[in-house]
Amino acid sequence: MEKVEKPGRYIGEEYNEIVKEDDSQLIKIALAFPDLYEIGMSHLGFKILYDIINKRKDSWAERVFTPALDFEKYLIDNDIPLFSLESFRPLHEFDIVGFSLQYEMSYTNILNMLNLGKITLRSIKRDTGSPLIIAGGPTAFNPEPLAEFIDLFVIGDGEEIINEIIDVYKDWSRKSRKSNKKELLKNLVMLEGIYIPSFYKVKYHPDGRIESFLKIEKKAPLKIKKRIVKNLNKTTFPVTPIVPNIDIVHNRITLEIFRGCTRGCRFCQAGIIYRPVRERSVECLLKIAELSFRNTGYEEISLSSLSSSDYSQIDNLTSMMVENYQSKGVGISLPSLRIDNFSLHLANQTQKVRKTGLTFAPEVGTERMSKIINKNVDENDLYRTVQNAFKMGWRRIKLYFMIGLPTETWEDIEGIVKMIKKVEMIGRNKVGKKFSLNVSINALVPKPHTPFQWLALEAEDDLNKKFQYITKMIRSNNISFSFPDTRLTLLEAVFSRGDRRLADVLEEAIKRGCKFDSWQEHFNFKSWQESFQKCNLKMEFYTHRNREKDELMPWDLIDCGIKKQYLWEEWEKALQGISTIDCRQSICHGCGLELVCQEIGNKSVRNFNNS
């Protein structure tokens, strides 16, 4: 392993790794993460599935990550297939290969991993001896760009459905001896939350828009309804996670305190697809934390969710966590907080062991834009919180903003400039020059299943002009800026909102060497341009046009639980500058999940029913 930079990525044998006695009766499942080891090993969903599958006596989950370029070359030069970390089994020898879909710019890595694992790319060309290729995760809510390569997609929560998939696979393999994969797919499509692309045909209008989805398998549903785990307390949670051999992005215990969000930020896909809100109890979380600490020895516990301070028992939970672990030198972190003094109180309470930086996401610089995106943040809350943060000893602040939002004007951009200057001035007044302010500015990529899904991506030149203006107006040694490559933003928008015709582009891009596209040092936009040109497709068709209300979207087969009409009403309210109050703070707004919320006991539905 002297030929590669970080051999610890590939050798396995980590603490808490699960290695079973190899048995031909075991269903062998490769959990494949299409990025480097350090990133995949930080992902909680990956750890959850590893734990669930390996608790079964009839199944064995192993891990496979995208190799870095140096190790990829080593594999190719020595004709070694991509393999797992637990048994070093080649990818093509697994029964099931499951990919985690976390971000669109990992799609070329998926195809590259299939190639390196000696698995035929197109599902229609794979023989019955090939593994069943499945995929799930947030970007599976528009599965179409990968539809030609994936046998089936899991839509929604994976904790329950993974066991059902294994059960069906086990029954099929015993009865048919793996001779008829179509029969397997017909059995799997009966499970709620399963989308099998080969069971549908897509027709297009002459202008390229989708005309219709046609079922070509009678058992296939007209809509694929997402899976929802209704009680997180009853689901298994990994309390013996693998402790990696090398440092990873999030080298800590991660506790998911609740799932979902009801704040209704109109740009946020996660806030839609993870609804409804479901909380773990304090007792459950304390038990998980203690077992995880005993089994790993980590020095940090992260209380994770989309908005941690919205957890109903957050004050009680953080107090008990600090009390339990402060004397042991274990830090408690809250990665996602609101801009208010309550959040600062929580941050101060949890960071008694060690103070890290504070991150806030005002997103916009004017009250008008705040109403449009439904962020509902008072900028005076930001100033008060920052002021108190400096008083309490914090010296590193990070701010997140977005540009390219609907109806955005230069006055709104100027509002961002003024907000940054005001925060810097507060810092100088409180601590002089001994602080740092990192400003991250991102371009809006309109995502599927959000009120902004009808919006066109703003032109790259306009986005760059806005970013250049902000940085030109603010010159300070205390402030650093980050802004993405707008060409990468363009590609993200293409694959966010694309259809299955993009399969040809992906395959062509792979031939031209595209991989690790989200990594700036590997990103080759020219190769992507050439790939689109050869396939007679235009990026602009997917990005730079507004959609009509009744246009059939590539993801309209997928039922995320939220009504399309509700999303359209939110889009119209955005254009009118009308906010929608968080349903957990008011009444149910009838988004489409009323029955599920009623079943799990969410209060807003009771308010809605009584109103």
Q: Is the pLDDT of residue 550 over 90?
A: yes
Q: pLDDT per residue over 309-335, tens digit each?
A: 899 999 999 999 999 998 898 988 887
Q: Residue 56, class by beta-carbon neighbours within 10 Å (0-12 exposed, 13-18 middle, 19+ buried)?
A: middle
Burial 369-388 (b: 16+ CB within 10 A, else e): bbbbbbbbbebebbbbbbbb
What's the rounded mean pLDDT across residues 136-146?
98
pLDDT at residue 597 tops 50:
yes
Per-residue confidence band for 342, with pLDDT thresholds at 50, 70 and 90? low
- Cα 271–Cα 277–Cα 282 angle in degrees, nearest 5: 130
Taken in order 553, 558, 564, 568, the sign of the CA dihedral is negative
Is the confidence at residue 46, as pLDDT, over 90? yes
pLDDT for the residue numbered 354:
63
Is the pLDDT confidence value at 608 over 50?
no
Q: What average pLDDT score do residues 246-268 get?
A: 94
Residues of the chain with pLDDT > 90, as a percent, come to 82
Q: Looking at 232-246, 346-360, 415-429, which range is the least confident one?
A: 346-360
Provide DSSP, 416-460. Answer: HHHHHHHHHHHHHHHHTT--EEEEEEEE----TTSGGGGSPPPPH
Q: DSSP letters along 45-80, please? A: HHHHHHHHHHHSTTEEEEEEEPPPHHHHHHHHHTT-
Residue-wise pLDDT tens digits, 345-382: 777 777 666 666 788 899 999 999 999 999 988 889 89
Triad 389, 395, 399: Cα angle to 5°? 75
3-state secondary structure of 145: helix
Residue 33 pLDDT exceeds 60: yes
CA dist 198 and 188 (Å) reads 13
Backbone angles phi, psi at 317, to 5 degrees: -65, -50
Query: Which of 200, 181, 177 minimizes the C-alpha distance to 126?
Result: 181
3-class DSSP state for residue 279?
A: strand
Helix H or strand E segment including 30 = strand 27-33
pLDDT digits (tens, 9 = 90+) for 94-124: 999 999 999 999 999 999 999 999 999 999 9
Q: What is the pLDDT of residue 394?
A: 86
Q: What angle do CA 24, 25, 26 make, to 5 degrees?
A: 95
Mean pLDDT calculated for residue range 575-590: 92
Distance from the first to the final alpha carbon of the chain? 67
- Alpha carbon 449 to its chain centroid, in Å, reads 14
Task: Please give the pLDDT value at position 147.
Answer: 98
What pLDDT, on the 0 to 100 scale, is given for residue 449? 98
Answer whether 138's CB lies under 8 Å from 269's CB: yes
pLDDT of residue 335: 79
Measured CA to CA in angstroms, residue 266 lies from 172, 263, 269, 539 at distances of 43, 9, 8, 24
149-207 tens-digit pLDDT: 999 999 999 999 999 999 999 999 988 777 789 999 999 999 999 999 999 999 999 99
pTM for the model: 0.94
List, in sequence order, every residue forming a beta bridge with 481; answer none if it has no partner. 439
Cα(578)–Cα(192) distance, rounded to whole angstroms? Answer: 36
Mean pLDDT of the chain: 93
* 337 pLDDT more than 80: no
What domains sit in the chain, N to C, each tagged with a CATH number? 7-225 (3.40.50.2300), 581-611 (no CATH)
The bridge status of strand 396-403 relative to strand 436-443 is parallel
Interacting residues of 353 by C-beta distance below 8 A, sequence separation 6+ = 325, 326, 329, 330, 331, 332
pLDDT at 24: 84
Model confidence band, residue 277 (pLDDT cutoffs 50, 70, 90): very high
- pLDDT at position 611, please? 40
> What's the average model confidence in pLDDT over 549-577?
97
> Which whole number is the average pLDDT over 281-298?
96
Percentage of the chain lying above the pLDDT 70 cut = 97
Angle at 127 (CA atoms; ends 126, 129), nearest 5 degrees: 120
Residue with tokens 């996602």: 336
